[in-house]
Amino acid sequence: MSDECGHVISALLCKTCVERDFEAQKELNAFYVDKLNKAEQDITELRAENERLKAALKDAKECIRIWHNMDCHGMDQEQIDGLWQSYDQNSPEMKRINAMLEAKP
């Protein structure tokens, strides 16, 4: 039985086969290094986008709080704060916003 080079297959490959396999492995490693570098770049970009989205959610939450407090005529600040806290902690939409703001990247 012989290998692709026509050499008799034994426990040791001929120098030509070893060099060919080594070059193929180098090419494969370079391919995966490029993929890994691209993935790292994508992750960095996604983390930056995540921070921008969190900042937008914080701004939206503040806007919601301001609008929410507009209907609190005749209430003292303690009542307004309590009402907002209840809404912030219990409403379905605020639960989702708060969960996103608290999530780790």
The confidence score (pLDDT) of residue 69 equals 84
The confidence score (pLDDT) of residue 3 equals 56
Is 1 a member of any domain? no
Q: Which structural domain range is residue 20 located in?
A: 15-102
Is 4 a member of any domain? no
Is 6 a member of any domain? no
Name the domain count of the chain.
Answer: 1
Mean residue pLDDT across the chain:
87
CB 91 within 8 A of CB 99: no
Q: Is the pTM of this model over 0.85?
A: no
- Residue-wise pLDDT for 29-64, tens only, equals 999 999 999 999 999 999 999 999 999 999 999 999
CB 14 within 8 A of CB 7: yes
**Of the candidates 85, 84, 86, 57, which has an alpha carbon nearest to the alpha carbon of residue 71?**
84
Token pair belonging to 17: 């086969």
| Least confident range of 13-22, 41-50, 60-69, 90-99 | 13-22
Is 3 a member of any domain? no
